[in-house]
């Protein structure tokens, strides 16, 4: 099994991760604050990303459905709800020590590949697509405030 080493360009917020959360509500040592929608002690529950995504789907897209074998069309309805969010989570750093992004746009360049980037397009996209408003709605639904002063273009790496 190989390792991927990817470049990630995202417009959004760096939320940090388990070693140090980059949100203002974090504890004295950078630990995740108490969040009504996430219990890290619940071993049977979702991890942070799953719980956060479920929260956004419910609060912003009104999607509270859960999957079951009799739930025909569930994945299509879930995909449509995710599209309505206009934001997504992505991971950087590594699979063993994940750090998280909340982003309105993500471009991943896989090892050995290349992607042409147009800086003028990057400058225009956030305003043109209303990304700042979508990101702010997500932060409000999650009840967190990033330490980053505003959404920005972030270039990071992932080794996994």
pLDDT digits (tens, 9 = 90+) for 74-95: 999 999 999 999 999 999 998 8
Q: How far is CA 30 from CA 20, 22, 24, 27, 121, in A?
A: 5, 7, 9, 5, 35
The 3-state DSSP class for residue 100 equals strand
Q: What's the pLDDT score for residue 45?
A: 62
65 is in which domain, residue-wise? Answer: 5-159
User: Rounded mean pLDDT of 16-27?
Assistant: 90
User: Rounded mean pLDDT of 129-134?
Assistant: 96
Tokens representing residue 115 in the block: 């992607």
How many domains does the chain divide into? Answer: 1
Q: What number of H helices and E strands is found in the chain?
A: 4, 5
What percentage of the chain exceeds 70 in pLDDT? 96
The 3-state DSSP class for residue 69 equals coil
Tell whether the model's pLDDT for residue 36 goes beyond 60: yes
User: Rounded mean pLDDT of 131-145?
Assistant: 97
| Closest by Cα among 56, 54, 143, 158 to 106 | 158
Please state, rounded to an integer, the average pLDDT across all residues of the chain.
91
Task: Tell me the HSE value of 154 on the side-chain side, using a 13 A CA sphere.
Answer: 26
Q: What's the pLDDT score for residue 148?
A: 97
Q: What's the pLDDT score for residue 31?
A: 86
Residue 112 to residue 73: CA distance in whole angstroms: 37
């Amino acid at each position: 099994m190989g390792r991927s080493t990817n470049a990630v360009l995202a417009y959004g917020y760096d939320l940090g991760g388990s070693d140090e959360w980059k949100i203002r509500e974090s504890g004295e040592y950078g630990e995740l604050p108490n969040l009504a929608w996430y219990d890290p002690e619940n071993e049977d529950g979702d991890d942070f990303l799953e719980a956060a995504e479920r929260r956004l789907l419910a609060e912003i897209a009104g999607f509270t459905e859960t999957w079951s074998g009799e739930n025909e069309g569930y994945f299509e309805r879930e995909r449509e709800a995710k599209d309505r969010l206009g934001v997504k989570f992505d991971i950087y750093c590594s699979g063993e020590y994940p750090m998280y992004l909340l982003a309105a746009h993500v471009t991943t360049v896989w090892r050995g590949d290349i992607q042409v980037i147009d800086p003028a397009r990057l400058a225009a996209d956030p305003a043109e697509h209303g990304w700042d408003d979508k990101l702010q709605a997500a932060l409000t639904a999650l009840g967190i405030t990033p330490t980053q002063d505003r959404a920005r273009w972030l270039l990071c790496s992932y080794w996994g």
